[in-house]
């Protein structure tokens, strides 16, 4: 059984992430969204919120595109990714590549993961053209300024972002 481990911080999950995960799900027996607990990134959403949004996002994407999501799991991990993946049968790390700007960082990470554990390979899927301009950071930026991003994230994620920024502005006395 082959397993694709899809690591990230998913703060929050977007259609770009989901597109990669479902494409991997048709190539591997199992896909595991692996949310990094110890990411150095400062996140807007808590771990629980991010896990919840990934789960809801998967269900929505599957329903909307009439795809099977029974081989996609969601989990969290702490510590080295190169160690964590060994919990699974025939694991490979998968990552999405948007543009050359992603390449340098991904190249370094893939080599470092193999340096940590020579059994671990990283496979890259090229981002769908529809979503290649998307990142969690840009979505948060647009949401913060009340821009249009409704079609770029699942409805549940849209709701959570709206809530987050609306409540924040209310607390800051801006609403």
Q: What amino acid positions are annotated as catalytic residues?
A: 17, 41, 98, 136
Q: State yes or no: residue 8 binds ligand ADP (CB under 6 A).
A: yes
Identify the residue among 4, 5, 12, 17 touching ligand ADP (CB under 6 A). 17
Task: Please give the structure tokens belonging to residue 174.
Answer: 């801006």
Shortest CB 86 distance to ligand ADP, Å: 19
Task: Please give the structure tokens belonging to residue 81.
Answer: 């990714």
Q: State yes or no: residue 23 binds ligand ADP (CB under 6 A).
A: no
CB atoms within 10 A of CB 77: 18
Backbone angles phi, psi at 2, to 5 degrees: -90, 140
Interface of this chain with ligand ADP, residues 81 to 140, rule: CB under 6 A: 95-96, 98, 102, 127, 131-132, 134-136
Please say which residue, 141 or 169, places its beta carbon nearer to ligand ADP. Answer: 141
Please say which residue, 13 or 172, places its beta carbon nearer to ligand ADP. Answer: 13
Q: State yes or no: residue 73 binds ligand ADP (CB under 6 A).
A: no
Query: Alpha carbon 79 to chain centroid distance?
Result: 18
- Structural element, H or E, at residue 126: strand 122-126
Q: Give the C-alpha separation, 57 to 15, whole Å.
A: 8
Q: How far lies 78's CA from each of 38, 53, 157, 162, in Å?
A: 6, 19, 24, 29
Q: State yes or no: residue 57 binds ligand ADP (CB under 6 A).
A: no
- List residues binding ligand ADP (CB under 6 A): 8-10, 14, 16-17, 20, 39, 41, 95-96, 98, 102, 127, 131-132, 134-136
């Amino acid at each position: 059984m082959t397993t694709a481990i899809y690591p990230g911080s998913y703060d929050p999950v977007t259609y770009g992430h989901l597109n990669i995960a479902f494409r991997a799900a048709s190539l591997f027996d199992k896909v595991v969204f692996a949310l990094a607990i110890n990411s150095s990134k400062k996140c807007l959403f808590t771990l629980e919120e991010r896990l919840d949004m990934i789960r809801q996002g998967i269900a929505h994407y599957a329903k909307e595109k009439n795809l099977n999501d029974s081989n996609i799991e969601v989990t969290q991990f702490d510590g080295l990714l190169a160690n964590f993946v060994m919990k699974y049968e025939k694991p490979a790390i998968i990552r999405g590549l948007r543009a050359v700007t992603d390449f340098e960082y991904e190249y370094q990470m893939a080599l470092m993961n193999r340096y940590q554990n020579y059994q671990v390979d990283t496979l890259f899927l090229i981002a769908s053209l529809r979503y290649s301009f998307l990142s969690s950071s840009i979505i948060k930026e647009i949401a913060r300024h009340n821009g249009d991003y409704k079609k770029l994230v699942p409805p549940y994620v849209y709701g959570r972002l709206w809530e987050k920024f609306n409540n924040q502005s209310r607390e800051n006395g801006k609403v």
